[in-house]
């Protein structure tokens, strides 16, 4: 129990540091992806909050901070938050590694923040969940509820992108590759999302502690 608390607390702390560092860089005009000419302050902050990376990283300390106090917490709405956090951060890490990493040319503190948010937090959160759970925590109603967030995020981003011309990730910009490419990439990411949900739920069930055996009936 003590090891679980320490691991969850470490994950929450590292993620909080990564988010604060990236926020400071955004405020100071640092680069988020390839924004060489930062917009106004309020727009920078709004765009910062619009990244799926940032939102998934916010969910991680929200859930791990709770688990640092109660490592066995696995009920109600917390299940949805924990499921969304775990699936979201793994998708974040994989999409970054395969789609975004080759496009980035960051240095110094920008590079540190990028690696913390996309790689370090993904590894810490994933290993923490695999080893410490809590479980069982995933059900199909839970996973369906957790999927509302990425679907809503994608709709909002595409609508605002059509109105403003700004997209947080290049693969969402239809002006570069066309709508066919955007739809194909988004479909692929959601296939990954559901595959991860299936795999995580299967692991969750496999590793869940067996229910206590009923005491045998005794006659008088």
Give the tens place of pLDDT for each residue, 26-42.
Answer: 888 766 545 556 678 88
CA distance 177 to 162: 15
What is residue 30's predicted lDDT score, i.e. its pLDDT? Answer: 63
Does the pTM surpass 0.85? The reply is yes
Res. 220: pLDDT tops 50? no
pLDDT at 145: 94
**164 has a pLDDT exceeding 50:** yes
pLDDT of residue 51: 96
Q: What is the pLDDT of residue 32?
A: 58
For residue 88, give both structure tokens.
């979201």
Is the per-residue pLDDT at 207 higher than 50?
A: yes
**Residue 218 confidence (pLDDT) above 90:** no
What pLDDT score does 209 carry?
67
Over 90: is that where the pLDDT of 6 sits?
A: yes
The number of beta carbons lying within 10 Å of the beta carbon of residue 111 is 13
How confident is the model over 186-208, as a mean pLDDT?
91
Contact 59, 88 (CB under 8 A): yes
Tell me the average pLDDT across 152-179: 94
Least confident stretch, 34-48, 135-149, 189-203: 34-48
Give the DSSP H/E element, type plus range, for residue 40: none
DSSP string over 193-214: HHHHHHHHHHHHHHHSPPPPPP
The DSSP symbol for 216 reads: P
pLDDT computed for residue 14 by the predictor: 97
Residues 44, 62: Cα–Cα separation, whole Å: 23
> Alpha-carbon distance 216 to 116, whole Å?
53
**192: pLDDT confidence band, cut at 50, 70 and 90?**
very high
Tell me what pLDDT residue 92 has. 96
Structure confidence at residue 184 as a pLDDT band (50, 70, 90):
very high
Residues 6 or more apart whose CB falls under 8 angstroms from that of 215 comprise none
Contacts of 24 (CB under 8 A, 6+ apart): 30
């Amino acid at each position: 129990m003590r090891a679980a608390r320490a691991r969850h607390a470490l994950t929450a702390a590292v993620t909080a540091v990564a988010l604060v560092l990236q926020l400071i860089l955004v405020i100071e005009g640092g680069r988020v992806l390839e924004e060489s000419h930062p917009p106004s302050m309020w727009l920078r902050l709004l765009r910062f909050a619009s990244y799926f990376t940032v939102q998934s990283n916010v969910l991680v300390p929200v859930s791990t901070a709770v688990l640092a106090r109660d490592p066995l917490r696995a009920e109600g709405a917390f299940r949805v938050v924990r499921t969304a956090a775990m699936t979201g951060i793994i998708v974040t890490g994989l999409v970054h590694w395969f789609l975004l990493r080759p496009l980035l040319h960051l240095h110094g503190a920008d590079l540190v923040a990028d690696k913390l948010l996309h790689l370090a937090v993904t590894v810490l959160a994933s290993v923490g969940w695999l080893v410490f759970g809590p479980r069982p925590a995933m059900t199909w109603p839970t996973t369906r509820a957790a999927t509302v967030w990425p679907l809503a995020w994608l709709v909002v981003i595409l609508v605002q992108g059509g109105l403003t011309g700004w997209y947080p990730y290049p693969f969402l910009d239809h002006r570069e590759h066309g709508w066919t490419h955007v739809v194909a990439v988004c479909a692929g990411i959601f296939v990954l999302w559901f595959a991860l949900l299936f795999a995580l739920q299967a692991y969750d069930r496999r590793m869940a502690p067996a229910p206590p055996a009923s005491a045998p009936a005794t006659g008088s």
